[in-house]
Amino acid sequence: MDLRTGPARSGLSGEHRALEIKKALRSDRAMIDLLAVKQELEAAPKGQRQAVLARLYGALNDAPKPELDAAVATFLPLLEVSSPNDCADLALVLGALVECGAEAEPLARAFVAPLERWVVAAARFVELAEELDDAPQSMNRDETVDLDDRVVAKQDLDDLYEDAPEAVASWFALEVLYRPAVASMTRVPSVLVEARRRQGLREALDTLRDLPGGSWWLRVLFDTCQGERLVFLLPERNEAFELVADGVVDVGQLTVLLSSVFAPQLAAIGASRPARDDVLGVMLGVGPQQLDEVYSSHFYLYPWRSLNPQLGVPEDDRHTWYALTGSGTHSLPADFQPATSEPLDGARVFFLVGPNLPSLRHRFVRELGASRMFDRLQARLSEPLALGEPGFSKWMTRITAELRAPSG
């Protein structure tokens, strides 16, 4: 099977290519000549590159850190000159070496530019694919490809590949490309912050926003809080607090962390107690990625646009939010990403209310599983700055003015 040809010829699946490489991995601790392997990789026919990469990994997967670092440094330049599939396969192996102990920062920094190139190309594929007809319902499953809520014929994608090979190949390469991005950038959040500032990359990810697969994981990663200024308004106490969040992916994770940060305030409004230390450790990224535990949350977060100015509290059914798996108008769900909330004066502003707020229409206990999205990404909330009643009133006035301002 030629894994570098068009989508129908390759079986379409980046997942398949990743598995093919992993199947071939063998433990071989003989000394390896990195430059010789690099030359062999550059000269190898397309069908033989994965075998070279598998042999490289097999010789290094239990090597000491200096050898791992040397291997990553040797092969990094090839990321810039490879095709999307070749780049994905090489980056997958380099990401695996990072997980074996190699320094993550060199890969993270070197990977930003090629990642942007292929994500932008993949976004172009999405635009081109919009012109394709839906596959006839009579087609067999193995003759079609799912693109979000559409099903198209593989043959149509093959024809598109003939006209725009890089765009089509890039889309399917994202199934592999996201993995080394996660492996390296979650270990070096400063690089993630820099990558998020690349306008072309962000615009391309926005184009890919609603599509599944590798682009979904990249979007989640890039929409993680990094240096996000968060403001929390507690209308039941006329209090406001401001803090900075790093490494926080979603509201489920944020809720558990806030249970500790705002423990006195939550107790005062009749909400849930702080999460246990082991559950907090999971959410902070200092414990295991997952435990067979839950945190029962009795408090709710609302985006600032949910405010009812007449009542001075947030209200259900006033504002529609969009989370990773759906939308709604009640309090924010566990999979809502705080960094995607509409900013106001440079901050992400939320209301925090307890279960006794009279205006609540939907009261329920959220059972939040003790797990975090990215294993190596550590989370941190800065010490909250209490803004007091004056700060609360200032923000309420600002929000009310914004809600009453003419739209457009």
Q: What sections of 164-248 are H helices per DSSP?
A: 165-185, 189-196, 199-207, 214-222
Encode 26-39: b = buried (16+ Cβ within 10 Å), e = exposed.
Answer: eeeeeebebeebbe
- Tens of pLDDT, residue by residue over 76-89, are 999 988 899 999 99
**pLDDT score at 1:** 21
Q: Helix H segments across 62-149?
A: 65-75, 78-81, 84-100, 104-129
Residue 204 to residue 115: CA distance in whole angstroms: 11
d(CA 215, CA 119): 8
Alpha-carbon distance of 65 to 277, in angstroms, equals 33
Range 327-365 burial, b when 16+ CB lie within 10 A, else e = ebebbbbbebbbbbbeebeebbbbbbbbbebeebeeeee
What's the pTM? Answer: 0.88
Of 27-31, 225-229, 277-281, where does mean pLDDT reach its minimum?
A: 27-31
Per-residue model confidence (pLDDT) at position 5: 32
Q: Is the pLDDT of residue 22 over 70?
A: no
- Distance of alpha carbon 164 from its chain centroid, rounded? 27
| Strand 366-371 versus strand 225-234 pairing type | unpaired
pLDDT in tens, 181-223: 999 999 999 999 999 999 999 999 999 877 778 999 999 999 9
| Cβ-count burial 110-126 (b if 16+ within 10 Å, e if not) | bbbebbbbbbbbbbbbb
**pLDDT tens-place string over residues 371-386:** 999 999 999 999 999 9
pLDDT digits (tens, 9 = 90+) for 47-101: 899 999 999 999 998 999 999 999 999 999 999 888 999 999 999 999 999 999 9
